[in-house]
Structure 1
Amino acid sequence: MKEFKLPSIKWHDLTSHFTRPKLEILSLIIILICALSVFTGRIASKQAMTFNNGALQYNGYVVANKMNGQGKLTFDNGDIYEGQFTNGIFHGQGTYTSASGWVYTGQFKNGYADGKGKLTTEGQATYEGTFKQGIYQYEN
């Protein structure tokens, strides 16, 4: 059996190619690459996305593969939400229009009508005021 010998590499041979200015430039490049990789994942881009085999269609801003910012979500039953999203859920100002005819316009929090808003039912009854987790808060 033949014996293989690896060439001997001395530390001095390796370090003689790297001068201090070259190492500083290399370090700066590595830092810039790391910084860019962190920030590019957080840049909002406008996209059209489809979920659940076409049951949901989204057109709007996306950050880190989640609906973030202004957008429009259309459900396969005809319901439409148009407004602000945070991490993929309704959050901020928006309008939810159901296929059956009722419309809510106002504030959303964690996916629910929450805050000041206006609900108009199919029969055109209007409830305007404060909502908490999707429930109208009657004022006494």
Structure 2
Amino acid sequence: MKQLIEDIKKIKLTRATIELVTVAFIIILGLSVFLIPLKHKGTLTYDNHRIIYNGDVANNRMNGQGKLTYDNGDSYQGQFKNGVFNGQGTYTAAKGWSYSGEFKKGQADGQGALKTSSGKTYKGEFKQGIYQK
């Protein structure tokens, strides 16, 4: 015990050292909120329960696999990143059309297939929601 006390006395703790360690600790804790996603399955509601999301949630955002349902009957099932459609998914409109394929930043972007309400199908490349022939 005496040796421990002597070792502690040898360590020169100054106010500046304690403040530096404290600030570093606070910064690490603050960054952990953004860098360590806390994923879980959950339900999120938006616009007074008119939009409902069921699926993977990380940091209170839609992140991962899930389904978003709108009160007008439209729905999207697929991958989300930071709250927007991103990756593979299917958007189905209540009016009868649907798009299945790649999404980037919330829009049809990449390979996909658009099926119209009249039964016509457009397959191929989409950029920012527009079919590219």
2:87 to 80, 92, 98: 92
Give the secondary-structure state (helix, strand or coil) at the position aligned to 2:124.
Answer: strand
Structure 1 residue aligned with 2:123: 128
Using structure 2 for the length normalisation, give the TM-score. 0.76
Partner residue of 2:102? 107
Provide structure 2 residue ranges, at least 5 long, that are not aligned to the other structure: 10-20
**Separation in 1, partners of 2:53, 2:40:** 13
Partner of 2:17: none
Paired position in structure 2 for 1:61: 56
Superposed counterparts of 1:29-48, under 5 Å = 38=32, 41-48=36-43
Computed over aligned residues only, the root mean square deviation of the Cα atoms, in angstroms, reads 2.6
Which amino acid letter does the alignment assign opposite residue 38 of structure 1?
Answer: S
Runs of 4+ off more than 4 Å: none
Which AA in structure 1 matches 2:49?
G
SS in 2 for 1:101: coil
Which amino acid letter does the alignment assign opposite residue 32 of structure 2? V
Shift of 1:44: 1.0
Matched, 1:75 2:79: no
Q: Which residue of 2 aligns with 1:10?
A: none
Query: Which runs of 5 or more structure 1 residues have no equivalent in the other structure?
Result: 1-15, 21-26
- CA drift of 1:41 comes to 4.9
Structure-1 separation of matches of 2:123 and 2:36: 39
Same amino acid, percent of matched pairs: 52
Give the greater-gyration-radius structure (CA). Answer: 1
Equivalent residue in structure 2 for 1:49, among 32, 44, 60? 44
Count of residue correspondences: 114
